Structure 1
């Protein structure tokens, strides 16, 4: 590749990723619409068939695009939504300005995962002439999905509506490691009951905050027990309280009669969500019996875990291509061993491919997962260029 062509490719990915970052798509509330329309228009201008799909939520469209009709099909998956940026003053620059400095793109979604979406778009466009001419005997599908950050069925709906294939690559930031398994999670809202009274007479009631103390201790014990269990490629299971609320919306002098907490339980491949429900119920029942606790729970969010064999051809080819470029030990990024089998600790939409559509899928991409959801989130654009080349080569190998 000539120096000029390489420079053009570098500029191209920088511009496209930055354009996507500059479109706020925070979820919640879930405002992917403007970004979906941008992606749809980009595909149409590139002469690629695309659909602006208004399912599963008509107010939150997503995009499915396809190049080719027959042969093996590789699906390149990315999501448009990002977690809220929080206080913009905590950032070094506007989180939606798309600032590029010292070869890094900064902004919410730069790593997680709008650069991955940009790479998928460019790879599909670049392979389109060879697919149409018959030089490559297969198809490429691109997802620009809604709702991944809150377990909405964006990717699942795209797969159900015909934007499926034989292989799936979910372009989350993994530092070029190939994840053949993903950890899941079950999120619970636990309500603890007390008896309200005036704060000047606390003994006349039962403070729901105090009632929750033995439950918090029990959750700590549960977490410790989970950490002793045999792990997986994704690491171990955890149980963590991520939110607690009591006494809000009332007079400051009222002893609260209700406390609610959110329990995040990380689920390993092979664990049954119903069995996890049973563990949570057993935990609460023990605290009820030992401390007279009045409490109930509801599962409010679920991401299933997923897994395919570590030696599946998709994983092997992508792993080998990555090692050729960045080295077996991970010379690019701060991750682990690129050449080793691996599972990602986070939940990804690979589960929708594997569990819902029966399509083997891996999670792989440039960037550091530690950048996701952080202040001053960023990605090395040099890594993005490497990922584009690797991905194009892998897709080409499956379509030849």
Structure 2
């Protein structure tokens, strides 16, 4: 019988699950670093347990996704459910931690450390159940999809999904284990991030009419984005099932200028908008670009012909909106006994899987409010609930098809 580690009077977590969580958390997979150490460790473990594994790499070869399959009892590798999680974590730079962020610490019924909540807790618990998955007489296969660079724009998952399509791999449903307090999330917003570069012309501040002030024109565009956000807030469209029931937009960073007595030649800022499902993303982006091209650039070029405003896409991740009749929705709701319609403002890779034709849902341990913060933690009873849920999933895939 599998040994267990007591986590609280009300919950238990398997030793293998907790060990895997700890192992993953000890690996510093901050997005700026390689994740190959983690991926190769998991790959070797999967291989040793008879799983079929495939790695797909980023252009540098320093990061990789892993897709691994537990075949059905009949040896089938197509269909079934995929458990999805990202392996990268956000930086700890500038944060005041009470313990080493990469040395897991259990205290007061909580597991502290970077990635505990977002989202190595889910991945580790799932990996700890691989032996049980192998021993079960699965009528449908189970898969793992572990990605790189989710935290900097969901860059890894599209590479993996393109490979699955190329290889003809078919999946019936996807469970993304982002922190949702083990509640079923059926929809989330999309996120779209862009960089805008304003090229003006430098001049001494005593001769301002001879210059084109890049910061001032950037400010005009930023105010236009703010006005756009206000329009969505006031006029909608709205979906009151979301915690923030309308599309939002904001400017997050800005850089420009060299001295107070110099008309700035350059200004760069980054902005984002988070759209409700069904909103025309390209329409919002086009409206912002058209304001720059029609209202601002002609005025700038009255002074200097070379003045310009350019845009660059940083990252996009589509919204998620799971159909109530989707099989994965019914399965996860039944296993969690959760019938509430829950929609959230944060984005996940679930939207990418859905866009690839794989019905997807979000359900994972931990509270999103603890993610990305100093002293990040996941409550141990959440990990126990996750493990219980995944055990039930294994049983359901051993007798009930999607």
* 1:343 partnered with 2:346: no
Matches within 5 A, 1:1-400: 5=4, 7=6, 9-27=13-31, 29-54=32-57, 58-68=61-71, 69-70=75-76, 72-87=79-94, 90-130=96-136, 135-159=137-161, 160-161=163-164, 162=167, 164-198=170-204, 205-228=211-234, 229-232=236-239, 233-234=241-242, 235-247=245-257, 254-285=262-293, 287-288=295-296, 295-323=309-337, 339-356=339-356, 358-400=357-399
> Partners in 2 of 1:156 and 1:260 — Cα distance?
28
> Partners in 1 of 2:184 and 2:325 — Cα distance?
11
Residues 41-87 of structure 1, C-alpha deviations (whole Å, 9 max, x = no match)? 22234443333443565221232211113274111111101121222
Report if aligned partners of 2:153, 2:315 keep a CA contact under 8 Å in 1.
yes
Report the CA distance between 1:309 and its aligned residue: 0.6
Counterpart secondary structure, 1:149: coil
Report the CA distance between 1:300 and its aligned residue: 2.5
Report if aligned partners of 1:75, 1:168 keep a CA contact under 8 Å in 2.
yes
Report if aligned partners of 2:17, 2:129 keep a CA contact under 8 Å in 1.
no
TM-score by length of 2: 0.84
Report the CA distance between 1:142 and its aligned residue: 0.8
Report the CA distance between 1:198 and its aligned residue: 3.6
Report the CA distance between 1:240 and its aligned residue: 0.5
> Partners in 1 of 2:352 and 2:318 — Cα distance?
8
More helix by share: 1
Report if aligned partners of 2:173, 2:327 keep a CA contact under 8 Å in 1.
no
Match of 1:333 in 2: none
Report if aligned partners of 2:212, 2:300 keep a CA contact under 8 Å in 1.
no
Q: Mind listing any 5+ residue stretches in structure 2 that lack a counterpart?
A: 7-11, 302-307
> Partners in 1 of 2:106 and 2:394 — Cα distance?
29
Q: Mind listing any 5+ residue stretches in structure 1 that lack a counterpart?
A: 324-337
- Bigger drift between 14-23 and 179-188 goes to 179-188
Distance 1:33 1:306, change over 3 A: same
Counterpart secondary structure, 2:151: helix
Report if aligned partners of 1:193, 1:211 keep a CA contact under 8 Å in 2.
no
Report the CA distance between 1:168 and its aligned residue: 0.7
| Number of residues of Structure 1 aligned to a counterpart in Structure 2 | 376
Distance 1:200 1:25, change over 3 A: farther
> Partners in 1 of 2:170 and 2:156 — Cα distance?
13
Report the CA distance between 1:286 and its aligned residue: 6.4
Report the CA distance between 1:283 and its aligned residue: 3.6
> Partners in 1 of 2:382 and 2:219 — Cα distance?
47
Match of 1:327 in 2: none
Report if aligned partners of 1:169, 1:364 keep a CA contact under 8 Å in 2.
yes
Report the CA distance between 1:117 and its aligned residue: 1.0
TM-score by length of 1: 0.84
Report the CA distance between 1:292 and its aligned residue: 5.3
Residues 248-300 of structure 1, C-alpha deviations (whole Å, 9 max, x = no match)? xx577643211111110112211233222222223435652897595332323
Residues 298-319 of structure 1, C-alpha deviations (whole Å, 9 max, x = no match)? 3232112232213423223312
> Partners in 2 of 1:12 and 1:124 — Cα distance?
10
Distance 1:77 1:266, change over 3 A: same
> Partners in 2 of 1:26 and 1:252 — Cα distance?
37
Match of 2:305 in 1: none
Distance 1:204 1:189, change over 3 A: same
> Partners in 2 of 1:289 and 1:195 — Cα distance?
13
